[in-house]
Amino acid sequence: MTRSTAQPKQTRAKPSKAKPQTEATPTDAAFDAAAAAYEQAGDMFQLITPDGTVTGAGELPDPETRLRLYHQMRRARHFDERGWVLYRQGRLGVFPPFGGMEASQVGTAAALSADDWLFPTYRDTGAALTLGLPIARTLAYWRTSPHGWAMPENLKVLPFYIPIATQYPHAVGAALAEKRKGTKNVAMAYIGDGGSSEGDFHEALNFAGALEAPCVFILQNNGWAISVPTRTQTKATNLSRRAEGYGIPGVRVDGNDVLATYHVTREAVERARRGEGPTLIETVTYRVKPHTVADDPSRYRTDADNEGWDAKDPVLRLRTHLLSEGIMTEESEAALLKEVADEFEAALQEADAYPDPEPAEILDHVFAEPTPQLRRQREQILSEEKA
């Protein structure tokens, strides 16, 4: 964190040496490694430690909100897990998994309102679902079906960005448009650690800072850019400090603590709504899963690299907290999990019922009004089909 005004108190919560009360029981060595990783990570805002202990670094959201965040994280995790299965069954084209990063995505997106903008990368299915992107449309997108290309009219969620970093300047543009219109709406854009080495990232931060754009920049540092670890692709060890170079606040948060990500993002969103400009939030997390369903991480990383991250699982961490606080019981959780699974299966049926796309549909949704070139290409495809 680079500015002290209107920021959460900076705290580094040391993980307790006690074994965490989570489903994943790590060995003592693994837990020591996790503790060491925290030490190396430096100052990070955290509200609950991996074993569910409340740090007291800031106020917790009310119990209803904590439960809502758990529900959203379970929805996201369920999508991620079913996504793998559907891919293996040949029912999903490609899919970049995000399991283990739910707190980073859900806690940040949950701080937005329906009138705000969301600019997600391919990794951010969990964030888009949280703001309200329908599951059926999202499945269609990862089936590369046109039914997933056009976003619902009532949502300002952009299609998942595949080119790295381009979404950052676009988000600044959307934020400035809202500012000109005199609304209080903000634009939130996601990027990875790798993306933050791209020029677009830096141009966007400078542009947003200089023009006080109501933007919230989420930088998910998950340790890897495909096969390249963060420590190799930059000498910077605290990516939130990049904000300093552009004169804007930078916040570093435990990206596996959903209460913390929600807390700092809400502050950033409120600051943007008040007309006080952009914030950069680095969520420190880990890509537990492969880069995409087509990737084999055993080619470039070892078990030692991954050690300790299971013990920091964001979903199990909040679960431990909710159960110990009596906000959720095992029975109420079972009902919640059933609701999540039923919702997904109904959405899958809806997506399965979408008609197969016609070849010419590849040109749809490119522009609001097709250009002369697109019209010509459409005619060409249609005439080739007839031939």
Alpha helices in the chain (DSSP H): 28-41, 63-88, 102-109, 125-131, 135-142, 167-181, 199-210, 230-233, 258-273, 303-306, 314-325, 330-353, 372-386
Asked if residue 223 lies in contact with residue 229, where contact means CB atoms within 8 angstroms, the answer is yes
CA 311 to chain centre: 20
Which residue stretch of 178-186, 190-198, 259-267, 333-341 sits at the interface with ligand TPP (rule: CB under 6 A)?
Answer: 190-198
Task: Decide which of Mg ion, ligand TPP, none touches 164; Cβ closer than 5 to 8 Å per partner kind.
Answer: ligand TPP
179 binds, among ligand TPP, Mg ion, none (CB under 5 to 8 A by kind): none
Determine if 264 is a binding residue for ligand TPP (CB under 6 A). Answer: no
- Note whether 294 binds ligand TPP by CB under 6 A: no
DSSP state at residue 111:
T
Say how many CA atoms lie within 13 Å of 253 toward its Cβ: 39
Largest CA distance in the chain: 71
CB of 191 to ligand TPP, least distance (A): 6
Instruction: Pick between residue 77 and residue 123 the one whose CB is nearest to ligand TPP.
Output: 123
Which positions touch Mg ion (CB under 5 A)? 192-193, 222, 225
Phi-psi label, residue 314: left if phi above 0, alpha if psi -120 to 50, beta otherwise = alpha
- Residue from the set 192, 277, 278, 314 that interacts with ligand TPP by CB under 6 A: 192
As measured in angstroms, the least distance from the Cβ of 86 to ligand TPP is: 20
Strand partners, 121: 161
CB of 186 to ligand TPP, least distance (A): 22
Binding residue for ligand TPP (CB under 6 A) from 48, 225, 243, 347?
Answer: 225
Closer to Mg ion at the Cβ: 66 or 242? Answer: 242
Query: Nearest-CB residue to ligand TPP?
Result: 192
CB of 189 to ligand TPP, least distance (A): 12
The option from ligand TPP, Mg ion, none interacting with 162 (CB < 5 to 8 A, set by class) reads ligand TPP
Strands 224-225 and 228-229: antiparallel
Which amino acids are annotated catalytic? 287, 291, 300
> With helix as H, strand as E and coil as C, how does 269-335 read?
HHHHHCCCCCEEEEEECCCCCCCCCCCCHHHCCCHHHHCCCHHHCHHHHHHHHHHHHCCCCHHHHHH
Q: Does 308 bind ligand TPP (CB under 6 A)?
A: no
CB of 228 to ligand TPP, least distance (A): 8
> What is the smallest separation between the CB atom of 165 and ligand TPP, expressed in angstroms?
7
Distance CA 277, CA 213 (A): 5
Q: Is 287 in the site for ligand TPP (CB under 6 A)?
A: yes
162 touches ligand TPP (CB under 6 A): yes
Is the Cβ–Cβ distance between 193 and 220 less than 8 Å? yes
Under the rule (CB under 6 A), what is the footprint of ligand TPP?
Answer: 123, 162-164, 192-195, 222, 224-226, 287, 291
